[in-house]
Structure 1
Amino acid sequence: MRFTVDRIDHVSLWCADIELAAAWYQRVLGMEREEYGGKNRTALRFGAQKLNLYEVDGSSLSGPDEPRPGMQEICFVIAVRPEDAVAQLHACGVAVERGPIARIGALGDVMSVYCRDPDGTLIELASYLGA
């Protein structure tokens, strides 16, 4: 089953200082800060989306090989099961870097598959189906 992207679920940003970045997004753009995942992880919620903030110290579970401030990961919501996404990625000659794996999306639990675009950006494909 082929899939197309439904919407952006969240974007992960790598920061030099999470406290400084979170305060800026709260003060300037009015986003609501939350801790999630039980691991002192910081997110900023706006509407049905969120920004996940990570420090460039390399402690995040995913992301760029050599994180620098300003780097990002994009999570797209797909309306098919993760196994179908894996099949389509393989059919297109795209390597699956990780998954399916349980994660936390902007609206709750998801099952995600990770791959990279031609520039090396980590792309997360998240399915709320069967999560």
Structure 2
Amino acid sequence: MPRETPMIDHLDHLVLTATDPEATTHFYTRVLGMRLETFGNGRVAFRFGNQKINLHVRGCEFEPKAHLPVPGALDLCFIASQPLEAVIAHLQRMSWPIVEGPVMRTGATGPIRSIYLRDPDLNLIEISEPAA
């Protein structure tokens, strides 16, 4: 029996709800190095690769929105474009604390080596590199 083609191909964007848009913008652009993008009616997103994170501010969310949009509820894993040691050194220069790692984990395509930190709303951010 032929296997069906999956209905979903990849993630285009996700929406992050924040309490302090300036602190969130600083974190995702200066600390993580994503590109700031403005679209629509002054909406803001953080672009990386072929994906982006759209920003909503708590209490001023765009419709339609999640049923219960709350800051601090996300657990995101990003694959770094550079060695994890370079990411760690950058975070140290930015005085941004690492809460755990490096540790070995299992990613979507295999083993990864990860560090964990938190964004200004306490979302858990995992930054990883493929493990050899």
Task: Tell me the TM-score normalised to structure 2 length.
Answer: 0.48
Q: Relative contact order: is structure 1 or structure 2 higher (C-alpha 8 Å, sep ≥ 6)?
A: 1
Q: Of Structure 1 and Structure 2, which has the larger fraction of its residues in strand? A: 1
